[in-house]
Structure 1
């Protein structure tokens, strides 16, 4: 499907009426999962919202978020496409309001053995997880600095950033990039009054693993964290100006601790993400 069919550009993005007096937050990947739950957190705490996704579901998400009595604008863009990222950044400026906070959450995974996985899907993963994150961040940061009111930025990284991830090799590498980038931006932007936090979720109960073709892995069939709880922890960490938060269950902290050697982390990740691994679990899917 072409990007023209998958996305929609709004050349004149407006909130209804005059500025509400509420702060404004931008959330990417907000149609479902952690991104949608992050949008709920902002709305619940009195933020108007500009939300984006490449999915038609973004309109339904917007309708539900308006139940929090905040203004919500939803735009649809395929952020794997450079021109569409530019269009989204133009949407941000077209609003004409300071951005108080942003959650750069859009991302996808691809599971499987690297020599068997589809190259185009992995290149799109890099475009979304890495390239669009840098692209949007550049515009957001410059816009925040121009506005002169500071701001807060939350990057969704992953516990997978802590070590190489066999059978999710490109995904884990992309999140290692996001983690490094977020912490570097935190240091650089302090003098501009912009606070940066990295959110590191573990396996979370979203559509991520299905979309990544990981239904027949141990992690695909395992118990997962509640995306609402992950988002709550991420939001609170951002508001508390923490550098990062490992969200979800206690086992996620074990995946990021320096007390465990990288070789063991790699082995554990391989065991959980190996294709067909769910067949070794009683009740798991079988080929």
Structure 2
């Protein structure tokens, strides 16, 4: 058993999978979680590293799922948390089922901040720990045809900035927000967005995004926007009218905009 212990959520694929590898490479025992059986196969990959790996299948859109994850720690102190679990949803808001957009909100917001509160309380009490939360540059952009997802990421980007200030006296605890742009993961397929331009365009590499987030986490940075093009897009979002940014997003996310 290693002296360091990390939880990585959404670790079955994509950015979370890469973050879990980085944590294991750096000597952290792992507790990895996702809401699908694939997390067990991912855990087998992580076991190539000389650390202990536990895998939990749990739905982090529910309080019960978060409690199931925390119960699996068996009381062990969490040195590092990568709160990466997230869910997207494409198409027009008025056409979406309530259960579908509710699960996006509950996964990206409710489950995430419940987990953060539980882990952060313990970290602050001992004045030691690191947290990386996966936000998104989408939080700066009105997300036409992806409105609920972008809204949840706006919440996360703002929320982590606020909590970082609240815990600033705890010098041993750091909270870093990773803000990627479109990344080559299962996200767009699962969000039913493969008929859109953003769904079919070339995207950032998940390994590179995870590495950027890891380096920012280890150096205690407040946040990191991965990729220079994404940095430019965020800079533009600070000065361009919201209506212009919403129209630009429409061209990327409206169904039927995929390249032939």
TM superposition score category, shorter chain reference: over 0.9
Q: Could you tell me which residue of structure 1 aligns to residue 137 of structure 2?
A: 159
Q: CA RMSD in A?
A: 1.3
SS at 1:41's partner residue? helix
Matching residue within 249, 262, 267 for 2:242:
262
Q: Could you tell me which residue of structure 1 aligns to residue 58 of structure 2?
A: 77
1:185-210 per-residue CA deviation (whole Å, 9 max, x = no partner) reads 11112212210110011111111001
Q: Could you tell me which residue of structure 2 aligns to residue 53 of structure 1?
A: 34
Map 1:25-36 to 2 at 5 A. 25-36=6-17
Contact 1:165 1:173 in 2 (8 A): yes
TM-score by length of 2: 0.95
C-alpha separation in 2, matches of 1:236 and 1:265? 30
Q: Could you tell me which residue of structure 1 aligns to residue 226 of structure 2?
A: 247
Instruction: Specify every segment of 5 or more residues in structure 2 that has no aligned partner in the other structure, as ranges.
Output: none
Instruction: Specify every segment of 5 or more residues in structure 1 that has no aligned partner in the other structure, as ranges.
Output: 1-18
Structure exhibiting the larger radius of gyration computed from Cα positions = 1
Aligned length: 257
C-alpha separation in 2, matches of 1:227 and 1:88? 24
* 1:277 aligns to 2:257 (yes or no): yes
Q: Could you tell me which residue of structure 1 aligns to residue 110 of structure 2?
A: 131
Matching residue within 223, 246, 252 for 2:202:
223
SS at 1:102's partner residue? strand
1:115-142 per-residue CA deviation (whole Å, 9 max, x = no partner) reads 1122211001111000000110111011
C-alpha separation in 2, matches of 1:42 and 1:199? 16
